[in-house]
Amino acid sequence: MKHLYIASIFVLTTLSANTVSAQNNLSFTIDEVVELAKEQSPEGIQAKHSFRASYWQYRSYRAGFLPSLVFSSTIPNFSRAMTAVQQEDGTYLYRQDYSNRISGAFNVEQNVPLTGGRITVGSSLSRTDILGDRGYVQYLSSPLNLTYSQSIFGLNDLKWDKKIEPLRYEEAKRRYLRAMENVSLTAIRYFFNLAEAQQRVATSEFNKTNTDSLYKMARGRYNIGTIGENEMLQSELNYMNSSATLNDAMLNLAASKNRLRSYLGFNESVDISIVIPEEAPNIVLDVEKIMAMAKENNPDILGYERQLIEAQRNVASAKASRGFSADLYMQFGLDQQSETIGNAYKKPGDMERVQLGLRIPILDWGRGKGRVKMAQSNEELVKVQVQQAVSDFEQEVILQVNQYNMQFDQLQITAKADTIAQNRYTVSMQRYKIDKIDITEMNNAQNDRDNAVLRHVSALRNYWTYYYTIRQLTLYDLQKNKPLETDYDRLIE
C-alpha cells in the first residue's frame, strides 16, 4: 500500500506538470515526505545505483565458482618464412614456405575453491595448409583434453574471497538501508525548515494584523491625550516592523518550499505545504538493547570485520610471495593427425604432460621480508583503528540514546510553554485594550508568544532528528519493533 500511495502521488504530480492549468497544491505529512524522498530524491536514486553496483560485483564473485564455457579460435594464422629442409647428403637447404593455420577449441573451465586450482576440459581441432609446390593439408584433433593447474604454495584467492565477498555484499545491503535513513534525515531537515517558515509567516501575518489594530488604538488614545507621543510612535514602529518581518518570512517560505520541492523531485507547477505533526510517539529506549541492535545491524561493524580479514589476507599474500613457490601443471588427452578430417578422429592416441615449475628466491636484499613486515604492521594498525572505531561507535550510540530519551519531555515542556504564552498574550491584549498595561509589556507578551511557538517547532525537529538518527545507527524500526527491511530484488530490476 505504501508503494501504491507513492506511485499515485508521483503519477498525479507528473500529469499535472504536463497540463496547462492552475498550480497544484499538495500537502504532505512528515511520513509522506520521508517516503517520497526515499523514492524520488537524488540521494535515494544514487543509493539504489550504488547498491546495484555492489550486487553485480557479488554476482561476479559467485560466477567464479561456476563452470564457464569458452570458445577460442585463430582465423587465420598466415605465415611466410624460411624453413630448413634436410637433403640426402645431410646438408640443409633453406626455402621459403607459405602456410596458413586455422584452429578452434571449446573448453569448460572450473575453479576449485578448496585448493585454488583450475580444471579445464576441452576439445580442439586445427587445420594446417602448406601452400606452394609441395603443398598439403594436415588436420590435428584433440577430442578430449583434461588439464589441471595449481599453485602449490601460493595464495588461494578463492578461499579468501569466500570469507570477504559475502561480508562485503551484506555490508552493501545494510549501507543501502543506512543511506535511506540518511535520506530520511535530510528530508526531516527540509521538512522542518519549511515548518518553521510556515509558522513564521503565520505568526507574522497574525502580528501584522494585531499591531495594525494596536497602532490605530494608540493613535486614538494619543489624540485624546491618554498616552504620550513616545508610546504612540512605538506602536507605529511595531506595525512597520511587523510588515518588514512578514516580507522576510514570505521570502524564506518561498526558498524553503523550493528546496523541499526540488528534493522530492517536483517541478515548479506544484505548490507544496506540510502538516506539522502535533504528537510524537513516547518511546523510551534502553541503552543496552539499542547497543545490541546497533552492533548487529550497523554496516560499519561488518566493515570493521571485513577490514580485519583483508589485513590477514594481505599478510598471507606477502608470505606466499616471499619464499619457495611451485606451480603444478598436469594434462591428459587424446590426439590424432591426418590429411583428412574424418581420419583425424580415428584411433586417437593418448597424450600426457606433467610440469612442475619452481621458484626459489636466493637473494632479494630483504624485499620479501620487508613486504611481510609491512603487511603485519598494517594488520596491527587496522586492529587498533577498528578497536578505536568500535569504541567511538559505542559512545555515539549511548549519546544519541540519552539525547533521544530527553526529547519527549522537552516536547511536552515546549507544548505547555506555548499554551501558557498564548494565554498570556490573550490576557495582555485584553488588559492593553482597557489601558491596564503599556505597549512595552504588550510587546514582551507578543515576543514570548512568538518565541514559544518556534521553540515548540524546534523541539519537534529535534525529536524527529534524534528518532531517525537512532534508526540510522540501528537499522531498526522503533515503532514497529523490528529490523528495517526492503525488497532488494526490486532494486536490481
Matching residue, cell 593427425: 337
**Per-residue pLDDT, 16:** 39
Q: Which amino acid is at 35?
A: E
Strands 270-274 and 325-338 turn out to be unpaired
**Burial level of 275, CB count in 10 A (0-12/13-18/19+)?**
middle
Average pLDDT rounded to a whole number, residues 400-427: 94
For residue 429, being part of any structural domain is answered with yes
Q: Which residues of 379-418 are buried (b: 16+ CB within 10 A; e: fewer)?
A: beebeeebeeeeeebeeebeebbeebeebbebbeebbebb
* Alpha helices in 274-366, H assignment, sequence order: 287-297, 299-322
Span 375-397, mean pLDDT? 95
Distance, CA of 212 to chain centre: 53
| 139, 205: one domain | no
Give CA torsion, residues 430, 436, 440, 444, to 10 deg.
-40
The secondary structure of 417-481 as a DSSP string is HHHHHHHHHHHHHHHHHTTSS-HHHHHHHHHHHHHHHHHHHHHHHHHHHHHHHHHHHH-EETTTT
Q: Which of 270-284, 352-366, 411-425 has the lowest mean pLDDT?
A: 352-366
Parent domain of 200: 37-61+161-307+380-491
Clarify whether residues 149 and 170 are in a common domain: no
Residue 366 lies in a domain: no
DSSP code of residue 23:
P
Q: How confident is the model at residue 133 (pLDDT cuts 50, 70, 90)?
A: low
| 352: in domain | yes
Q: pLDDT tens-digit profile of 352-381?
A: 778 777 777 777 777 888 989 999 999 999
**267: in domain:** yes
pLDDT digits (tens, 9 = 90+) for 66-105: 999 999 998 888 887 777 777 777 777 777 777 888 999 9
User: What percent of the chain has a predicted confidence (pLDDT) above 90?
Assistant: 60
* Amino acid, res. 287: V
Residues 303 and 232 in one domain: yes
Q: Are residues 386 and 474 in the same domain?
A: yes
- Is residue 167 one of the residues assigned to a domain? yes
Residue 5: pLDDT band (50, 70, 90) is very low
> The domain that contains 258 carries what CATH number?
1.20.1600.10
Same domain, 48 and 75: no
Supply the DSSP string of 35-89, one letter for each residue.
HHHHHHSHHHHHHHHHHHHHHHHHHHHHHTTS-EEEEEEES--EEEEEEEEE-TT
| Residue 253 and residue 296 share a domain | yes
Is cis: bond before 76, omega within 30 of 0? yes
Collect all residues with Cβ–Cβ distance below 8 Å to 340 and sequence separation of at least 6: 139
Shared-domain flag, residues 57 and 147: no
The count of other CB atoms within 10 Å of the CB of residue 243 is: 14
10 pLDDT above the threshold of 60: no
Same domain, 338 and 404: no
Cα 267 to chain center, whole Å?
26
Strand 482-483 and strand 476-477: pairing? antiparallel
Q: How many domains does the chain have?
A: 2
Classify residue 31: in a domain, yes or no.
no
Here the contacts of 422-431 (C-beta below 8 Å, separation 24 or greater) are 422/449, 422/452, 424/448, 424/449, 425/449, 429/210
User: Taking the CB of residue 358, how many other CB atoms lie within 10 A of it?
Assistant: 9
**What contacts 429, CB < 8 A, 6 or more positions away?**
210, 442, 445
